[in-house]
Amino acid sequence: MRKLIYGMMVSLDGFVARLDGALDWVLIDEEMHTFINNQERETGLYVYGRNLYETMRYWQTADQDPTQPAYELEYAKIWQAKPKIVFSATLNEVEGNTQLVREDAVAEIRRLKQGVGLDIDVGGPTLASALIRHNLIDEYKLFLQPVILGEGIPFLPPGVTTMNLRLVETRPFQSGIVYLRYQTK
């Protein structure tokens, strides 16, 4: 069975974006990008909600800019090669190695988890909220950023019931970011 992994950049006060969706507070340097690139190689499928997919579409053409650092070009190639599913009732089309799904995300994720292959990475707090409420997330990966936003879009949905998790990995970065990986018990 494939694991479903939810990971994002998170402020100290638990937000993944400003209220307007801005990510101007996120630090990603070469050390962290290299770490993320290595993780992404082990991902079999990305699943996104519409908002995060629209943000991540940047990587569809990022490798065409020769001024990009090598570690960002590498990430673009990794991202482009991986299959992606976008759950959206409002998008009309997607591009690249991406499939648009309008049906029930929870049912589709349950089906995908039963398959064989590398793990599934869920991106976006709205999609993740539905999956958290149905106890489908197997791992949580937080890149804890050294910033307090005060308000924003939360990593976890309001009203989440108690979940006991097991810390399985930590890593501090020179930038002050701390990576935390938890598994469900």
Instruction: Report the residue count for the chain.
Output: 185
Closest by Cα among 22, 21, 14 to 180? 14
List the domain range (segments joined by +) for residue 11. Answer: 4-28+42-51+82-184
Whether residue 80 is predicted with pLDDT greater than 90 in this model: the reply is yes
Residue 91 inside a domain? The answer is yes
Tokens 């050294």 identify what position? 146
Q: What percent of the chain has pLDDT over 70?
A: 100
What CATH number is given to the structural domain containing 172? 3.40.430.10
Render pLDDT for 2-54 as a digit per residue (tens, 0 to 9).
Answer: 999 999 999 999 999 999 999 999 999 999 999 999 999 999 999 999 999 99
Residue 86 inside a domain? The answer is yes
How far apart are the C-alpha atoms of 181 and 140, rounded to whole Å?
A: 6
Residue 9 inside a domain? The answer is yes
Question: Whole-model pTM above 0.85?
Answer: yes
Residue 77 inside a domain? The answer is no
pLDDT for the residue 159? 86
Residue 73 inside a domain? The answer is no
Render pLDDT for 147-159 as a digit per residue (tens, 0 to 9).
Answer: 999 999 999 998 8
Q: How confident is the model at residue 92 (pLDDT cuts 50, 70, 90)?
A: very high
Q: How confident is the model at residue 160 (pLDDT cuts 50, 70, 90)?
A: confident
Residue 22 inside a domain? The answer is yes
pLDDT for the residue 78? 97
Average pLDDT over residues 126-144: 96
Give the chain's domain count.
1
Phi and psi at residue 52, in whole multiples of 5°? -70, -35
pLDDT for the residue 162? 87
How far apart are the C-alpha atoms of 133 and 135, rounded to whole Å?
A: 6
Residue 120 inside a domain? The answer is yes
Phi and psi at residue 4, in whole multiples of 5°? -105, 120
Residue 35 inside a domain? The answer is no
